[in-house]
Amino acid sequence: MKKIVKQKPQDGQATDILERVAKRIEDATIDINDMKSDLKMVSLRLSGVEHNTKMIKVDVEKMKDEMGEIKIYMVAVKKDIKDIKRNTDDLTETAAEILKKATTQEEVNELSQRVTALEQS
């Protein structure tokens, strides 16, 4: 069997080891502090993103309301267009009847001018 010889560490060796451990602890502490700063920055950025998201939600709701108002307006415009078309059709029919009853070219021209004036108004 081999004898295990225990050597007593030299004082200089122990000091070197302790200095290296202390340096590593110091480096780790600096890294941890850097990570804390980075986390605070990320937290601030996330707060900004959350704020912007809330603002976007408000804007989207406003747009929904405005789209509803536009839809109501478009329905009214569509009805107005139908009314105008119906009135135009009625005017055209009336003009055609009047023109059928006209006896001379002069009367036809005069009535045609009246119809044109009515359509323009």
Identify which has the larger pLDDT, 61 or 106: 61
As a three-state string, the secondary structure of 26-38 is HHHHHHHHHHHHH
pLDDT above 70 (res 97): yes
Q: Is residue 4 part of a domain?
A: no
Total number of domains in the chain: 1
pTM above 0.75, yes or no: no
pLDDT above 70 (res 49): yes
Q: Is residue 6 part of a domain?
A: no
pLDDT for the residue numbered 110: 84
Handedness of CA 60, 64, 70, 71 (dihedral sign): positive
Q: Is residue 45 part of a domain?
A: yes
pLDDT, average across residues 86-98: 86
Q: Is residue 2 part of a domain?
A: no
